[in-house]
Structure 1
Amino acid sequence: MTRFAKVIDRLAATIESRRGGDTSTSYTAQLLGDLDRAAKKLGEEAVEVVIAAAQGDREAVTAESADLLYHWLVVIAAAGVSLEEVAERLEAREGTSGLAEKASRKA
C-alpha cells in the first residue's frame, strides 16, 4: 500500500470515529451532521485548488489539495458512501477511455 493510501485510510477512519461526536468540540462531527454544509465546503476547497493551480502556486496546490481530500472524505462519509464503493466505481472504469466513459453517461 502506498503512503498516500495509508494516510487516506487513517484519515477516513478518524473521520468515521467522529461520527456522532460532540459538535461543540469537533469540526468533523459538525460537518458529518450537516451534509449541505460539508458539500459547500468541499466546493470551496475545490475552487481554491483550481485558483492555486491557475496561479502556478505549487505550495498552495499541495495545501489546498489536502483540504480538498479531507472535505471529500467527510462528504462521502456523510452521504453514506464508502471508499470501497468509490474504488469499485473506479475499477469498473479501468481500461475505458475517458472520452468513452463520458459518452456512456449521456446515453
Structure 2
Amino acid sequence: MDNSNCSGDHILDRLHDVVLSRKGADPKSSYTAKLYAKGLKKITQKLGEEAAETIIAGLVEDKKALAGESADLLYHLMVLWAARDLDPQSVWEKLEERTATSGLTEKASRKKA
C-alpha cells in the first residue's frame, strides 16, 4: 500500500484547510460559506443527507457513484468539524489509538465509560 499521502499533506488535511478558509467568506461566493452562514443545523442536515445518499450508493449503485457520494460525505463532515472548531488531527489521533486495539475491545470499553 502506498503511504505517500499519510502525512500532513493528505487530501483530507488540504480539504480541511480549504473549508476553513471559507469561514467568514461571502455566502454568494462559496457553497461552503453559504453553509456556514446557514448555521450548524443546516450543516448537520446536509451531512445526514449525504450519509443517506452514501448508504444508498453502497447498496445499489456502482463504485463510481459510491466514490462520489463518499467524497460528498467527507466534505460535509469536514465542514461540520470546521464549524465546531474540531481539528482533524484530533480525529486522526483517535483513529490511531483505535488501530492499536481490537475493535471488539474498543467498542466494549465505550459501554463502560
Using structure 1 for the length normalisation, give the TM-score. Answer: 0.89
Give secondary structure in 2 for the equivalent of 1:25: coil
AA of the residue aligned to 1:39: T
The corresponding residue for 1:21 is 25
AA of the residue aligned to 1:67: D
Counterpart check, 1:39 vs 2:44: yes
The corresponding residue for 2:76 is 71
What is the CA-CA distance between 1:92 and the residue it aligns to?
Answer: 1.9
The corresponding residue for 1:53 is 58
Please list every run of 5 or more consecutive structure 1 residues that lacks an aligned counterpart in the other structure.
none
Counterpart check, 1:91 vs 2:90: no
Moved over 4 A (4+): none
What is the CA-CA distance between 1:105 and the residue it aligns to?
Answer: 1.0
The corresponding residue for 1:105 is 110
Q: Structure 1: how far apart are the matches of 2:98 and 2:14?
A: 26
Q: Structure 2: how far apart are the matches of 1:100 and 1:56?
A: 33
CA contact under 8 A between 1:32 and 1:77: conserved in structure 2?
Answer: no
What is the CA-CA distance between 1:30 and the residue it aligns to?
Answer: 2.2
C-alpha distance after superposition, 1:13-52 (max 9, x if no partner): 1111101111122210122341111111111111111101
Number of residue equivalences: 107
Deviates more, 1:63-72 or 1:20-29: 20-29
Using structure 2 for the length normalisation, give the TM-score. Answer: 0.85
